[in-house]
Amino acid sequence: MKSFPMFIRTSGRRVVITGGGEQAAQKARLILKTDARIVLAAPELEDELAALVRQNKAEWHSGPITPALFEGAAMAFVATGCPGLDASLHALVTEARCPVNVVDQPDLCELTTPSIVDRDPVVVAIGTEGTAPVLARQIKTQVEQTLDPAIGGLAAFAGRMRDAVAQGVPRARRRAFWRWVFAETPKQAWVRGDEAAAIRAVKDAIADQASDQAQGGSIALVGAGPGARDLLTLRAVERLQEADVIFYDRLVDPACLELARRDAERVFVGKTVGAHAWPQDRINAVILAAARQGQRVVRLKSGDPSIFGRAEEELQTARAEGIPIEIVPGVTAACAMAASMGGSLTERGVTDALVLTTGQSRAGDPLPATTRHAGPGTTTAIYMGVAEAARIAGDLMAQGLPGAAPVRVGVSVSQPGEAMIDTTVATLASDLAAHKVTGCALILVSWPRHMAQAAPKAPALAQAV
């Protein structure tokens, strides 16, 4: 960063705006959002600025401008519209050691004005260090759409209740209490317009030394998607930002963890096929122990937790102990692979069934019948199938799929090292070996409804590049 973002206190302080035209009026509108004393320095004022003076919302300094005018001011804006005059005024302001913004002259600016989303007292400031103001406005529009207009009122109420919370809620529970206020019952009531219900809920919770929601720990099984950070859902990001501790898998991109709260504990519990340094029962035990301590736990899994993610074992463990647990779905590898290929997993009249299956089974169990649902009209996405590629290919051919039928393998889908390998059923195992594919890969087999064994036709999905 070339500029450090921060908020400047304006209470009881002056902000001096030099200029009496439209540029000065724009800055005045911005500062009117604060409680600063606005001083307009110009020999003449346009109508809007003159009205501010008449309404006692600003003071007018029509005399000579000297460095003394700027001494002790919180900031100054130079906005005459004349580049030469602006440069001269800039020299006077800097002589008084007052932070200054010169409109449309970034080289003369110590301060730049951000795009602002105002939910007083919640304020979001978006800056680009003067390089791309249009981009800043676009980001502002996106934030305006996602930040509820009523959230500022809830924040102001929370500020008035801080002393009561400090007295009524034990220190160890306060973070969870405030998370509950801003994420659950009080916030939901406030944003739907029932402020009385929100206030009552907070006060009742304080009287009870925090509500049950705020006291107890919880677990969220969060899908991190196939790897790319920008494929996380908004809900997944919310849970990461609320988490006290995050238990994450080997395939989770480190960039996803950067979205978490800075002081959240991060615990690696990665597992590799055939080498479980963290067996599932140990993972179950540690996430349960953290939740029992009142922590908000995120179990961050690659892909979608409910698709070959062993979510059911963690769900049952938590529910048996009465720990609240939820699933936050993620983008599964099959969907991400189709997106990378620019194709569809299904096609009307060609493949009207999608099968998600695996090449692996639980330790000690027989290998799964991976291809049992494959047949004309299906697209089969095979997870964790690399080690069993020869068996899977043999089963497909035994079911009637021609050996020359195309297969596509996605390696590290959506991640920087992503690769697509085009092969055939007959050469699947040998091509995987030739490309040294051993781990994170998805095998995609499309079997068109009309494919005949004697004259196989390349499926639309496998042709997409």
Crossing angle (nearest 10°) for helices 280-292 and 311-320: 40
Residues 306-320 have a mean pLDDT of: 91
- Work out the number of other CB atoms within 10 angstroms of the CB of residue 21: 17
DSSP 3-state of 281: helix
CA 9 to chain centre: 30
Tokens 């009142």 correspond to 294
Average pLDDT over residues 120-130: 90
pLDDT category at 455 given cuts 50, 70, 90 is very low
Share of the chain above pLDDT 90, in %: 67
What value does the mean pLDDT of the chain take? 89
Assign 457 a pLDDT band (cuts: 50, 70, 90): very low
Average pLDDT of span 299-309: 93
Sequence length of the chain is 465
pLDDT of res. 241: 87
pLDDT at 461: 42
Both tokens assigned to 196: 């009385």
Say what percent of the chain tops pLDDT 70: 94
pLDDT bracket for residue 454 (50, 70, 90): very low
- pLDDT digit string (tens) for 23-75? 999 999 999 999 999 999 999 999 999 999 999 999 999 999 999 999 999 99
pLDDT of residue 216: 65
Instruction: Calculate mean pLDDT across residues 163-177.
Output: 87
Catalytic positions are 249, 271
**Tell me: the pLDDT tens digits for 185-238?**
899 889 889 999 999 999 999 988 644 444 568 899 999 999 888 899 988 998
What average pLDDT score do residues 127-156 get? 90
Q: Can you give the pTM of this predicted structure?
A: 0.61
The count of other CB atoms within 10 Å of the CB of residue 118 is: 14
In this prediction, residues 2-31 reach a mean pLDDT of 94
Summarize pLDDT for 376-428 with one digit per residue, the tens: 999 999 999 999 999 999 999 999 999 999 999 999 999 888 999 999 999 99
Give the chain's radius of gyration (CA, Å): 31
